[in-house]
Structure 1
Amino acid sequence: MSQRQRIYSRGSLDRLERLIEERLQPGANKAQIDQRIWDLFGEHWSVMFTDLSGFSRRVAKFGIIDFLQTIYESERLLIPVLEEHDGILLKVEGDSMLVIFRNATKALQCAVAMQRVLAEYNIGRAGEETILLSVGLGYGRVLRIGDSDVFGAEVNSASKLGEDFGKGREILVTGEFRRECGDLPGLGYAQLPDPPAGTYSAFRVDWQPA
């Protein structure tokens, strides 16, 4: 992140923190403050959370250095795919990435492209050398704080789908994301019987290697 981006993100966070402090004061007009926050930071985005499958098992078997290598290799392979599909990488935490997209179609196309890149990479590799990715996608109105973070119900849902519900090679999406994205050629949806708490519906995307 450039110095200019850091200043922008820090300025946005400072403004949000001041408004939250104002909201905490006795007698504060919370509805009015909330509206100011949404006016300042409210935007519609597609949100992607990614997670590498098998973290605990892999660390226990091969050690943390092996898994750090896997993280490095996954970023080398996947970040160019994110850039190609106009994704904005907000942050990386361990083996997870948080990415936002203006266009839901591009977000789903990116998720499929990422899975296909890894499917090709894994061909002929031993199990411990493969990289398995799960992806969660949501869409909706969020609070975007500079280029550092986003908050909102669909952010939480995408996180749960990508990190808690998803398995290796899976792409899971919220109902809101599916409605925004619509159907794409060659892809199908299968509804999940038990979506995450706070999510009315969720779907598994049926995709095939290239």
Structure 2
Amino acid sequence: MAFRRTIGASASEDRLEKLVQDRLQPGADKEMIDQRIWDLFGEEWCVMFTDLSGFSRGVEKFGIIHFLQTIHESERILIPIIEDHDGILLKSEGDSFLVIFRNVGKGITSAIKMQQELVIYNKDKIPEEKILLCVGLGFGKVLKIGDTDVFGSEVNIASKLGEDTAEAGEILVTQSVFERAADKHLKFEELAEGPAGTSKAYKLVY
């Protein structure tokens, strides 16, 4: 099964690379090639980026063993929640996750559950052992390349929200997520300033 998955991801990457090379040729019909790329890889997904607040400072202060412990514990707690909500973990790099969900509702519910579980986990922990999660959510048409990566405007914005803008315990969402969650009896606060690439962004009040 692992071998079949490797072949599948490689086939997608090879096809994309060839089409991009074709697009670079003199006189290439870029509009037609772009449409082929979107036809092959374009899908709608809810994209989640997570980050651990103060993680780099903690590693510098407490060392590599602290780093490994924090990563281990965050994965132990959070990955089962992601799976329970039908999320697909595409990447785990250091203290960050890239996760995709088929719909906004499951992405939001998963994010809330992740934060709630960490509140419980942190209750009896000393400050340096607490896991403080930041989450950014986007939704829209993306290019999904096998099970290795996704690209698109909503991906970029969700990344900025989760990794750069959100503070510990926050769930920040794009305008697109907000619009699709407005009828779910959730509360949101508009941010004073959204990241580049979006007119508005919101903090989920949970």
TM over 0.5: yes
Deviation at 1:181, TM superposition (A): 2.5
- Partner of 1:26, secondary structure, is coil
Which residue of 1 is the match for residue 204 of structure 2?
205
Which residue of 2 is the match for residue 161 of structure 1?
161
What do the CA deviations read for 1:17-73 (whole angstroms, capped 9, x no partner)? 000000000000000000000000000000000001102210121012202210111
Which residue of 1 is the match for residue 94 of structure 2?
94
Give, in whole Å, the separation in 1 of the partners of 2:32 and 2:81: 41
Give, in whole Å, the separation in 2 of the partners of 1:12 and 1:18: 10
Is 105-114 or 58-67 further displaced after alignment? 58-67
Which structure 1 segments of 5+ residues have no match? none
* Percent identical residues: 60
Which residue of 1 is the match for residue 63 of structure 2?
63
Deviation at 1:8, TM superposition (A): 0.6
Which structure 2 segments of 5+ residues have no match? none
Give, in whole Å, the separation in 1 of the partners of 2:146 and 2:56: 32
Task: Tell me the TM-score normalized by structure 1.
Answer: 0.96
- Runs of at least 4 residues of structure 1 off by over 3 A? none
Give, in whole Å, the separation in 2 of the partners of 1:128 and 1:60: 12
Give, in whole Å, the separation in 2 of the partners of 1:81 and 1:98: 14
Paired residues, number: 206
Give, in whole Å, the separation in 2 of the partners of 1:3 and 1:107: 29
What do the CA deviations read for 1:87-144 (whole angstroms, capped 9, x no partner)? 0111111110000000110100000000001000001211011100000000000000
- Partner of 1:57, secondary structure, is helix
Task: Tell me the TM-score normalized by structure 2.
Answer: 0.97
Give, in whole Å, the separation in 1 of the partners of 2:137 and 2:82: 14
Give the counterpart letter for 1:84 in structure 2. D
Give, in whole Å, the separation in 2 of the partners of 1:60 and 1:148: 30
Which residue of 2 is the match for residue 73 of structure 1?
73
Deviation at 1:158, TM superposition (A): 0.4
Is 15-24 or 53-62 further displaced after alignment? 53-62
The answer to whether structure 1 residue 148 and structure 2 residue 115 are counterparts is no
Deviation at 1:182, TM superposition (A): 2.5
Give, in whole Å, the separation in 2 of the partners of 1:87 and 1:5: 18
